[in-house]
């Protein structure tokens, strides 16, 4: 007796019938192998039967029988926004906006977000929602040879989690020190009634950051001992992350109800308070003043594209993991625009806050400068031509206006004996306004000038802690979700995997708690993620738009949403996004080779920062970080090729063991075949056919 089977054109998972369970291994057109499975096998085992097509177009673990989901759309939004909105929105975006043309940079940023950022964000959302797998499963589904992309994303997530949690440890340390008055970084300490020279040469906030918090060495070559306070804070940070991730998204989302919303409350409080400060208007004006000439600078385009790239969290796999918990009909197209818009507006809000407060700090510093040099002018007035002396009342130095002093200095300052200098407000704003320099030095100093400074300090560092926690949850999900999707043993022990991952993260993270640990944080931040993630997104874009096919991907989205997104996405994915990411990759690589990698070190003797080149061993470590992050891509390709050859050999040896199966038109789809097989008589007929 013969049975009819259509030529395999897709993937089939195991199907449980009344009398037996069957799985299909497609070998060559017209040939099939039937594997009988015990009927009492649990559904999870049946659903994960390996499926294979001869064309090599798809190979992946089938979707797990049961997959967690969001309880509501609000939870999903909190998770996606919490992951994408992180510390970079607060201390990276404002710096780039100020340094690269203010309003002109904002326009460039919006342009790149519309042309590159949102289409790629939509791509990852749709891929995760359609395939309902983590990053490894998604790219393996598209092609087995691309499985390494998902593993690379996991490696990069692990690298980022290592140093990102150290920043949370620093925030915890500052948060703990905020509950005292006066704040420990408001004044320089004294030893035997003498002000500490290192603090006197720099500032109280710089001294507290470099000497008290980090106890930093002069270079990365000097390791030093572990900082016990930071070690304890790092342990606390990893404990919080572990407890939040203990039960996957079910537990982490409960924390996100606070950690994703609280930062906005704090930002609005700071904005209202900041706008009432003297100098806030000047700070915001400096930020938004457009300098359109910067559009001709290729480095500005590179920095804007990189910021768009990291602001949305592309390439980490966390976007894919979170969207994989969505129902199939969720409008991921609208989600892409909504989350991107919230992310951008958060960056603008944070920038307003930062420059309102930094404007106040810069105005205070500039007025101190004016008072100091006016007093020096008074001392020299007896030996100076009275026609050169200022026309304003300089007898009271504190009453002199900044603009009055600057106008007088430009005209006659060079003719006055002494070391008079211009008191430039913008130069004051440019000091320490990026990264940790903004959060732990400049902004901290500004808050110490406010009435009720401990309250504002505690609020600020609690905000940083919550911003970092939401991002850490997403980063950890980018590691755990793909691994548990691909490996059944890990899926059955997800809680143990979470605890184990956090313990390993803490132990390796001790590297960053040494006295030279800050230099390693900068190394990981600058090099462990940037280049590998760009390469990952290049492969993602190419695999979806060219290998899988942009039209085919839009068909899948249409099947999910019930309507077809604009054909514009096809051309954006195939050309604009791909060329933009390749350009960013080329610009980043060229810059790394042209400009030798350097880091900002703290010189204790000079009490100032100095940019130093990385030593040879550090360059080797830096290179290994990039190589380790990218190694899974070629390894995954090689593994898939070798596996394909092994299966080809296996098919050649088994080809004679099975009978040819005729085909006809009534069994046009694989699902039609399986529906026939599940009839009471269909199964026995097929078995007798294969035994003939």
Q: Which residues are annotated as a binding site?
A: 82, 85, 89, 343, 467
| Cα gap 461→483, rounded to integer Å | 33
Round to the nearest angstrom and report the end-to-end CA distance of the chain.
8
**Residue 38 φ/ψ region, left for φ over 0, alpha for ψ in the -120 to 50 degree band, beta for the rest:** beta
CB 306 within 8 A of CB 538: no
Tokens representing residue 82 in the block: 């919490």
The DSSP annotation for 569-617 comes to HHHIIIIIIHHHHHHHHHHHHHHHHHS--EEEEEETTTTEEEEEEPPHH
| Cα gap 144→138, rounded to integer Å | 10
Pick out the residues of the known binding site for Na(+): 82, 85, 89, 343, 467
Dihedral Cα 445, 447, 450, 455, nearest 10 deg: -140
> In 3-state terms, the chain is what percent helix, strand and coil (to 5)?
70, 5, 25
Residue with tokens 């997959």: 67
CA dihedral over 305, 307, 312, 317, signed as positive or negative: positive
Task: Collapse the DSSP code of 451 into the 3-class scheme (helix H, G, I; strand E, B; otherwise coil) and give the result.
Answer: coil
Tokens representing residue 5 in the block: 């089977």
**Residue 434 φ/ψ region, left for φ over 0, alpha for ψ in the -120 to 50 degree band, beta for the rest:** beta
CA dihedral over 496, 499, 501, 504, signed as positive or negative: negative
Residue with tokens 């390469």: 535
**16, β-bridge pairs:** 21
Tokens representing residue 504 in the block: 């390993």
The DSSP annotation for 470-516 comes to HHHHHHHHHHHHHHHHH-HHHHHTHHHHHHHHHHHHHHHHGGGGBTT
Tokens representing residue 179 in the block: 């509950």
> Which residues lie below 8 Å from residue 94, measured CB to CB, with a gap of 6+?
287, 347, 350, 351, 354, 355, 433, 438
Tokens representing residue 523 in the block: 């190394």
| Cα gap 619→606, rounded to integer Å | 26
| Cα gap 130→559, rounded to integer Å | 9
Q: Which long-range contacts (CB under 8 A, 24 or more apart) does 372-375 make?
A: 372/397, 373/405, 373/409, 373/420, 373/421, 373/423, 374/400, 374/405
| Cα gap 563→555, rounded to integer Å | 9
Question: In the Cβ-directed half-sphere of 274, how many Cα atoms lie within 13 Å?
Answer: 30
List Cα–Cα distances, 518 to 164, 226, 525, 671, in angstroms: 12, 12, 10, 58
Residue 481's CB is within 10 A of a number of other CB atoms, namely 28
* Alpha-carbon Rg for the chain in angstroms: 30
Task: Collapse the DSSP code of 215 into the 3-class scheme (helix H, G, I; strand E, B; otherwise coil) and give the result.
Answer: coil
SS (H, E, C) 125-159: HHHHHHHCCCHHHHHHHHCHHHHHHHHHHHHHHHH
């Amino acid at each position: 007796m013969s049975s009819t089977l259509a030529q395999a054109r897709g993937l089939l998972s195991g199907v449980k019938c009344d009398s037996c369970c069957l799985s299909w291994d497609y070998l060559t057109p017209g040939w099939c192998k039937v594997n009988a499975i015990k009927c009492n096998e649990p559904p999870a085992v049946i659903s994960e039967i390996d499926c294979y097509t001869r064309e090599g177009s798809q190979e992946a673990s089938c979707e797990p029988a049961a997959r967690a989901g969001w309880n509501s759309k609000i939870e999903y939004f909190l998770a996606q926004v919490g992951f994408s909105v992180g510390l970079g929105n607060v201390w990276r975006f404002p710096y780039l906006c100020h340094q690269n043309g203010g309003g002109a940079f904002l326009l460039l940023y919006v342009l790149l977000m519309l042309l590159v950022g949102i289409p790629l964000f939509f791509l990852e959302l749709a891929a995760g929602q359609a395939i309902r797998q983590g990053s490894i499963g998604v790219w393996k589904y598209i092609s087995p040879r691309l499985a390494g992309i998902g593993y690379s994303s996991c490696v990069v997530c692990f690298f980022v989690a290592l140093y990102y949690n150290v920043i949370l440890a620093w925030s915890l340390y500052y948060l703990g020190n905020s509950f005292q008055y006066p704040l420990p970084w408001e004044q320089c300490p004294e030893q035997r009634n003498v002000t500490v020279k290192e603090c006197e040469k720099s500032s109280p906030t710089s001294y507290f950051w470099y000497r008290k918090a980090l106890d930093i060495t002069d270079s990365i070559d000097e390791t030093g001992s572990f900082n016990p306070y930071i070690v304890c804070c790092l342990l606390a940070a990893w404990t919080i992350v572990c407890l939040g991730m203990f039960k996957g998204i079910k537990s982490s989302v409960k924390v996100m109800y606070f950690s994703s919303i609280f930062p906005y409350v704090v930002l609005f409080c700071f904005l209202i308070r900041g706008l009432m400060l003297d100098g806030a208007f000047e700070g915001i004006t400096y930020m938004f003043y457009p300098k359109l000439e910067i559009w001709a600078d290729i480095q500005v385009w590179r920095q804007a594209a990189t910021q768009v790239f990291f602001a949305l969290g592309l390439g980490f796999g966390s976007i894919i993991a979170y969207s994989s918990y969505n129902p199939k009909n969720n409008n991921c197209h609208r989600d892409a625009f909504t989350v991107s818009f919230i992310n951008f507006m958060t960056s603008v809000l944070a920038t307003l806050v930062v420059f309102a407060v930094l404007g106040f700090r810069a105005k205070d510093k500039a007025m101190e400068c004016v008072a100091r040099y006016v007093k020096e002018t008074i001392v020299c007035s007896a030996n100076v031509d009275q026609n050169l002396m200022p026309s304003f009342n300089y007898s009271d130095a504190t009453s002199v206006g900044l603009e009055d002093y600057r106008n007088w200095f430009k005209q006659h300052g060079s003719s006055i004996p002494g070391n008079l200098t211009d008191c430039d407000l913008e130069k004051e704003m440019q000091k320490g306004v990026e990264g940790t320099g903004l959060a732990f030095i400049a902004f901290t100093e500004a808050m110490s000038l406010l009435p009720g400074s401990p309250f504002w300090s505690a609020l600020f560092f609690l905000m940083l802690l919550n911003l970092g926690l939401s991002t850490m949850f997403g980063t950890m999900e980018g590691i755990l979700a793909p691994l548990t999707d691909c490996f059944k043993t890990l899926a059955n022990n997800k809680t143990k995997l979470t605890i184990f991952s956090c313990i390993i993260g803490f132990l390796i993270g001790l590297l960053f708690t040494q006295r030279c640990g800050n230099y390693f944080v900068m190394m990981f931040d600058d090099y462990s993620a940037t280049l590998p993630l760009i390469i990952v997104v290049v492969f993602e874009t190419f695999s979806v738009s060219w290998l899988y096919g942009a039209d085919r991907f839009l068909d899948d989205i249409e099947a999910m949403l019930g309507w077809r997104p604009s054909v514009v996405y096809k051309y954006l994915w195939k050309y604009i996004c791909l060329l933009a990411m390749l350009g960013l990759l080329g610009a980043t690589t060229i810059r790394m080779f042209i400009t030798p990698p350097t880091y900002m070190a703290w010189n204790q003797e000079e009490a100032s920062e100095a940019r130093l080149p990385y030593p040879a061993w550090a360059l080797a470590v830096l290179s290994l970080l990039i190589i380790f992050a990218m190694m899974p891509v070629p390894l995954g390709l090689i593994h898939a090729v070798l596996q394909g050859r092994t299966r080809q050999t296996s098919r050649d040896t088994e080809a004679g063991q099975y009978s040819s199966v005729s085909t006809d038109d009534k069994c046009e789809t694989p699902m039609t075949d399986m529906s026939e097989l599940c009839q009471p008589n269909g199964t026995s007929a097929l078995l007798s056919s294969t035994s003939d």
